[in-house]
Each structure stands twice: as C-alpha cells, then as structure tokens.
Amino acid sequence: MHKVLVFGANGLLGSQFAKQLTNSDTYELLAPSKDLVDLLSEVQVSDYIAEHKPDFIINCSGYNLVDQCEIDEQQQEMALNLNVKAPETLAKLALKHNARFITFSTDYVFDGSKDSAYVETDEANPINYYGKTKLMAEQAVLAANPKALVIRTQWLFGPGRRDFVDAILPKLEGADPVPVVNDQIGCPTYTVDLASKVINSLLESNENGILHLVNDGSVSWYDYTLSIQETLGTNAHIVPINSDGFKRLATRPKNSILSSVKVKPMRAFKEALKEYLLK
C-alpha cells in the first residue's frame, strides 16, 4: 500500500483526509500528532519522513486567524512560520525523498476587484496579511519543488470542526435578527468532496503548479445563509448588511469566486450542503 503522510489531520479539511484514507484499501495513513512531530521543527519533520518514507505528503495545516494576524506582530510571526516556512520545508523534503507533495491555499490571495471568477492564471494581489502569507507560501513551495501541487480552495464546510455553517445554526434557531454580510461572494466547498477529489483523482496525477478546486456555484454569505435556512426549514429573520458595517481588522475581498481552467468544479454546493445538513 502507498503511504500518505497528512499534516493537520485534526483540522476541518485534514480530518476528512484522515477519515477517507483510513477507510481506503489503496493507501496507508500516516498522521503524526503535534507531540510526535512539530511541523515547525525541520529536524523532527525530516527525521519522520526519512524513517517512514511516505509516497505522498499532504499539508492541511496552517494559520488561519485572519484578523488576529493583521496587526499583531507575534501572530504575524506565527502565520509566517505555519503558512510559509512549514510548507516550504515539506516541499523540499518531498522532492528530496521523491514523494508527491500537495498543499492548500486560499481565495484570499486575490484582492476581489475582478468582475468575474478568478482562474489560476489571474494575478494575485492579497489585501490582508493572512493572504500575503498564503501567496508567499505558494511561491516558496513551487520554487522549492516544481512538481508540487498547490490547491486554492475557499469557504470550507464539513464535519469535524467549527465552520460558518456551525456558527450560524444556533442563530437561525433563535428569535433575534441575524445580520449577515451580503457583499462578499465566494464558493462554499464541502470538505468531504474536496478530500475525495484529491484522493481519487489528483493524488496520483501529474497535475502540478496551482489549481482551483471548489464546489459548483457562488453566493454571498447572506444567500448562503438563506440556503441553510431553506434546507433546515427555520424561520429566522436574516438581515443583509454591507461589510462596511461589520468592522474587522482585516479587509476581505468582495469577489473571491474561484474557477478553474484545468478541472471542472465539484458537484453543486447546494447539493453538498443539503447532504451535510440532513445527515
């Protein structure tokens, strides 16, 4: 069996990789805990890879506290270490040990000013610190390992960890109005579909460089919330608001819809959302 080493296996996306690989007849999962392998220790990571000799390395770890790292220097250093240094190290080690390397990036590498969906060849121009670290990571990974695959995705939802769906559900069951931003648009993406697509179609492919991979369909956060309410049959009063009235430290791109010139999108997000909510 081929060995697949997954970092971040306890996270929202990584947990799906861990689950699906555990149930696979083709792959053997390697998912060391933080206590066993500190991703920020090049020595520990290098020793583990040299000992276990994985055929594939998937990096689902990273720093994603978008507002916290916008102005806090300590948080910025942490973001640089987790989002840039760690994947660059993994990319180098994967190349050295002839392992396939896949890591994930984000729609936040774009500024959101485009009138249509962003494709892989569009120029990146992040407008917050988090997005800058993810762009730096893309560049560092591909410079270190041209065979690597960097998958940009967005608006993840799925079992295992708190996401937008989990955060909004209690509010939809309450009596108070639910204000939701209506001028930021993206593609909700189901972690179950994303992990499955990578494992079954991309893991052993020759695809490299940057790839956009999301579920089909785009919405604002407001319309996304309406879809959740429609599926569950709740009766909350959902109020559309402009993002200017919802102050945050980090600016978000208004339009960050991802599309691909390389692969078709996965199934419609509404279909995936319904499956997730009604399970």
Active-site positions? Answer: 130
- What is the DSSP annotation of 55-105? SEEEE------TTHHHH-HHHHHHHHIIIIIHHHHHHHHHHHTT-EEEEEE
Give yes or no for a contact between 268 and 219, defined as CB atoms under 8 angstroms apart: no
Please state the separation of Cα 148 from the chain's center in Å: 16
DSSP 130: H
Q: Which residues pair with 198 in a beta bridge?
A: none
Whole-number CA gyration radius for the chain: 19
Q: Which residues pair with 240 in a beta bridge?
A: 180
DSSP H or E run through 212: strand 209-212
Alpha-carbon separation of residue 53 from 23, 149, 250 (angstroms)? 21, 19, 40
Other residues' Cβ atoms within 10 Å of the Cβ of residue 107:
25
The dihedral over CA atoms of 121, 62, 103, 114, expressed in degrees to the nearest 10, equals -10
